Chain A
């Protein structure tokens, strides 16, 4: 157990190095001199030289990279050119909101996906079973073809513009000026208002999160649904399940047998989806003015805010790496074969 985890964690270090190097390299490739962007049009010759020296841009490439790694490890991501604030603080304020959104989205996808997928796999191959399976396939193709941001806009049109039953897509807490937003410990407005005990605002925040989460569920649930239906069908048709059914094992026990074996591909797919959602959330956040990592990213790219771009690349990559690590750890606990093979190989 410890050996497996140690080896898996040791693998993180070279991964992080390569990722940080790529993030650094990318920024080096950016057009334009960062010094000129920072100082703006009203600059003096000495100012440029001083700033270049201060940022260490007169040093050789690998010295610069070394300094970059040193700063990053200490949590210093530099300052944003646009807001002049430290990037790490801005990320700290914005990343939780995005993680919250995509976590809720993932939970919705997994619940819907496993639920419906399981029913579809065990449904009789006649009548409503055929109908259900056909609609799932069709829905899967359709949902995979629609841009998530467009689906979000359609929901806005129906539930806000036409029916008026959900709040406008203007952030996590509609009706509040961003600067007056509650400053709480989690930086997630729904949780912060709950912690403060302000249930009126919490209600608003809850209603505001319905549409973005439903958007993610509509577009991405078929991913989990499909893999659940396929693997469950496979396991259901396997000989040991047929055997268990033949000798009259209870239905509940059989369900446990099936789930245990179908779970691994579902976990992997859900994990990959989770990592993917961080990128997908960029667009959904834009539609709902969520004020999270995604919008921050878009603003940074449009303003060529290189420290922010570097920071966001790093956050995105680290998130992906951590999610893949979690998948491996879950596999370790769910699949006894991994435990045996690591013992055998050591």
Chain B
């Protein structure tokens, strides 16, 4: 009996040096900008309310004075209140103040803690639930009579959920379970589950037929281990790649819900609710209360879309998709 000895192969791992990173950044300018924006947003989600120059949730402490130097109290009845509360962007209030005398800049940079957390949490929960259900549905499809038809029913059910217009379902669900940050997370997780379910189920149907799965079964692995330890890691890729785009979508949906008063309510700083507070003001020319949160929101979703797209491009043609 002869043993074959393989010649030693030296694999050159490229060193991650500062100049290599710099070259990469120059090659992928758009992606670099997107990653930069996202990093800023994540940073703001962590410390936004702490570094904000003014309290994002309560009115300015300093009293506003009228022409005679008399203090104007923040009373509902005084018609001057709204005009005085609203201040155009200046050195003190970079993005101006809104009709309740809240500092728009402080609120804008505090909002990622609400919007980004909703986006990340709902995407992760949706991805988790969608993956597990998709794995089970894909593995069970066409198996035994009962299991197979249960999987079929599950798949049809997911299709039907997707037949309803997303935003309208979101509104209806918020009506059922109520509004607020946690409720929005539940609603969005529910809506995202079918999206990820589809990808994982489709992949599972392919992966379960591969030879290595047969080999795992031949050596006596229990079904559960084959499913979760061997098939799942190979079938979540396409779904995970969608994660970034879904997160951007989550931010848009959250803002939309808050915009119609069904998501996160003021005074909690949230971009959509802030844009809503400026609806009438945009008609009378005070643009700053709506414009700044909209731009910040747009930049965040834009960066998530760019990152998602470049991950998608990178992933195509590698991994199991190419077998």
Contact = CB atoms under 8 A, between A and B. Distances in A.
Interface of A: 15, 18-19, 22, 26, 29-31, 141-142, 144-147, 149-150, 153-154, 156-157, 160-162, 168-169, 275-276, 278-280, 282-283, 286-287, 297-298, 300-302, 304, 309, 312-313, 316-317, 319-321, 324
Contacts of B300: 145
A202 B284 CA distance: 26
B168 A278 contact: yes
14 contacts: A22-B161, A26-B172, A26-B173, A145-B248, A147-B252, A147-B294, A149-B259, A156-B282, A161-B283, A168-B283, A283-B167, A283-B256, A283-B260, A298-B260
A139 to B, nearest CB: 11
A141 B33 CA distance: 13
Contacts of B16: none
A302 B306 contact: no
Interface in B155-175: 156, 160-161, 163-169, 171-175
B171 A282 contact: yes
A280 B279 contact: no
A150 to B, nearest CB: 4
Contact of B259 (A145, A147, A276, A320): A147
Given A316-B165, A319-B165, 9 more contacts: A141-B306, A147-B297, A153-B278, A161-B283, A168-B283, A278-B165, A279-B167, A283-B256, A302-B262
A141 B167 contact: no
B285 interface: yes
B294 A160 contact: no
Given A149-B275, A153-B279, A320-B165, A31 B172 contact: no
Contact of B164 (A160, A304, A313): A313
Contacts of A147: 252, 255-256, 259, 272, 275, 294, 297-298
Nearest to B284: A161
Interface in B223-274: 248, 252, 255-256, 259-262, 272
B218 interface: no
Contacts of B165: 275-276, 278-279, 316, 319-320
Contacts of B260: 282-283, 286, 298, 301-302
Contacts of A321: 163
B154 interface: no
A276 B294 CA distance: 22
Nearest to B294: A150
B282 A161 contact: yes
Given A141-B305, A160-B283, A169-B283, A317 B275 contact: no
Contacts of A278: 165, 168
Contacts of B169: 313
Given A282-B260, A301-B262, A154 B301 contact: no
B116 to A, nearest CB: 14
User: Which secondary structure dominates where chain B touches chain A?
Assistant: helix
A319 B163 CA distance: 10
Nearest to A317: B164
Of the listed residues B168, B173, B256, the one surrounded by the most CB atoms of chain A closer than 10 A to its CB is B168
Nearest to A314: B164
Contacts of A279: 165-168
B287 interface: yes
A276 B168 CA distance: 10
B285 A161 contact: yes
A320 B284 CA distance: 38
A301 B304 CA distance: 30
B174 A146 contact: no
Contacts of A304: 175
A19 B160 contact: yes
Contacts of B298: 142, 145-147, 150
Contacts of A156: 282-283
B290 interface: yes
B64 interface: no
B302 interface: yes
B148 interface: no
Nearest to B303: A145
